[in-house]
Amino acid sequence: MKQVYLSPDKKFLGVCGGVADYFNVDPTLIRIAVACAALYTAIIPALIIYVIMSFVFPHQPEGYTKVNTTKKQLHKRTTNKKISGVCGGLAEYFGVDATVVRLIFALCMLFIGFGLTIYIVCLVLMPSEPEQIITSQKYDN
């Protein structure tokens, strides 16, 4: 049976990394979701839940190996970008056109009001594209 553990590759307490391992997604996606939830719940409720989860989730046992590992990593793009590469990186990760992601952000900014906040959170939390990917793309084109 699959179980969620605290991740040893942690940024804070390992909760987001553990949840990402459980769902086999990039930890950056979970970190973005938690940061947005914290911002929209006045930080304290999300922080309390996060700390409780860090006490409830067990640590990974010795010799634990991940069964499912995803090779996809979420990162800001340097080639398919208009402003900072956030939408290009999200589009690449989810396998959709970057224009669709840009349109979703624009609609969220105009009609719902939280698109800019999510964009800024993504901008801060998403890592830059690794140098080896940038180099290989120059020679592939």
**Rg, C-alpha atoms of the chain:** 17
**C-alpha to C-alpha distance for 116 and 105, rounded to whole angstroms:** 7
What are the tens digits of pLDDT across the range 51-107? 888 888 888 777 666 655 556 777 777 776 778 888 888 888 888 888 888 888 888
Nearest-5° angle of CA 91, CA 5, CA 35? Answer: 45
pLDDT at position 131, please? 66
Output DSSP code: residue 111: I
The type of residue at 43 is: I
Residues whose CB is less than 8 angstroms from the CB of residue 122 and which lie 6 or more positions away in sequence, other chains included: 32, 86, 90
pLDDT-wise least confident of 40-54, 102-116, 127-141? 127-141
What residue segments make up the domains of the chain, in order of their start? 15-56, 72-133
- For residue 114, pLDDT over 60 is answered with yes
Q: Tell whether the model's pLDDT for residue 1 goes beyond 80.
A: no
